Structure 1
Amino acid sequence: MPSRGLRYGRSVFATALFVALVVAGWGFVSLLGETDVVVDPDVGPIIVPVSVAVSATAVLFALASPRWSEVTVRGLGAVLGSSAVLALGAVAVQLATLGVLQFVATGRLTALLLVIAAQAPTPYTIVVIGAAFVAAVGLALLGAGQGRASWPWEKEGD
């Protein structure tokens, strides 16, 4: 099992990949579909970035957990299944945060439900799912090489 620092270091890069894929994916979907990222026009400009940041934090801690390092040694099926669960969790956190922040901004409980119901069936949620899945699978593939990087002259036994 990799050390704690190595787990967090790799997870930071995987989380950065997640955020980059979300931003790029949302940009392409918005450009090609000529739509806004958020369907509800009452949603403020800070709510969506904060919801992505909270989702990215959840992805970071999920990928940095020791259990995620154990998944990588179980095989491809475990990696794909765990990545799918993580991706669904990431989008659930993002949508829940979006709803809670809209509730805080408006003070109406119906705003929480309406913003989630309006945002969930859009292609933007699929982008979040895909980005989290790609980041998780990428980290699992990277985690297959459990050792630390070293120069050829650092190897013992030569």
Structure 2
Amino acid sequence: MRDYQKYAIVVSVFAAVLYLSLVVAGFGMVSLITDREVIAEPLAGPVLGPVMVGVPVVLVFALMVKLGITTRPERQRVALGYAIGSGFAASATFIVVGAVGIGLDGVAPMPFAGSLLISPFTVITGIFAAIVVLSYSLILATQQGQHGRPLWPWESRDDG
């Protein structure tokens, strides 16, 4: 594995943790402001919510790793279209996982998926995914041509 691929994987881990944190904070703020539950279905089990958030986080992580390790550093660019597509994929995954999960709990999945489609929580999932993937691609694009670890302003590459 090349250095740029290791760097891309490490940054994608931090970006995925950031994404998870943003989603949890965003859900909490919207729930607090709107006095609305993230999952309003009373028959949903306690595992559904975390799985509905976890699967998009894993998806976004995988998309960032794919972007980082398949693109050589000199070809890295800010991937706006890729970020927007990742946001839509995260939102769709949030809805599909919710519908499948609620179906396993014995509730009709289509009305639940429809309520998720117009939910602000689905929008948060997608927007934060797009922002994090865009930021990730920006970080990789700005590292073009650098080798090794980042340096403090008083360090130079010649220092051992």
SS in 1 for 2:71: helix
Alpha-carbon distance in 2 for matches of 1:39, 1:30:
11
Match of 2:114 among 102, 117, 121: 117
CA positional deviation for 1:156: 4.3
Alpha-carbon distance in 2 for matches of 1:150, 1:22:
29
Alpha-carbon distance in 2 for matches of 1:95, 1:135:
20
TM-score w.r.t. structure 2 length? Answer: 0.82
SS in 2 for 1:45: coil
Shifted more, 81-90 versus 144-153: the winner is 144-153
Give unpaired runs (5+ residues) of structure 1. Answer: none
Pairing 1:123-138 to 2, within 5 Å after superposition = 123-138=120-135
Residue in 1 that maps onto 2:143? 145
What amino acid sits opposite 1:102 in the alignment? I
Give unpaired runs (5+ residues) of structure 2. Answer: none
TM-score w.r.t. structure 1 length? Answer: 0.83
Alpha-carbon distance in 2 for matches of 1:29, 1:68:
35
1:67-106 per-residue CA deviation (whole Å, 9 max, x = no partner) reads 6763984655xx2221110000011111111111111222
Residues 84 and 130 of structure 2 are in contact (CA less than 8 Å); yes or no, is this contact kept in structure 1?
yes
Pairing 1:1-158 to 2, within 5 Å after superposition = 3-66=4-67, 70=71, 73=75, 75-76=77-78, 79-106=79-106, 111-143=108-140, 144-146=142-144, 147-151=147-151, 152-153=155-156, 155-156=157-158
Alpha-carbon distance in 1 for matches of 2:85, 2:30:
24
CA positional deviation for 1:44: 1.6
Residues 52 and 97 of structure 2 are in contact (CA less than 8 Å); yes or no, is this contact kept in structure 1?
yes
1:14-67 per-residue CA deviation (whole Å, 9 max, x = no partner) reads 111111110000111001101111132222221010121111111111100146
Alpha-carbon distance in 1 for matches of 2:72, 2:111:
37
Alpha-carbon distance in 2 for matches of 1:71, 1:52:
31
Q: 1:89 to 1:148 in 2, by over 3 A?
A: farther
Q: Root-mean-square deviation (CA), in Å?
A: 2.5
SS in 2 for 1:65: helix
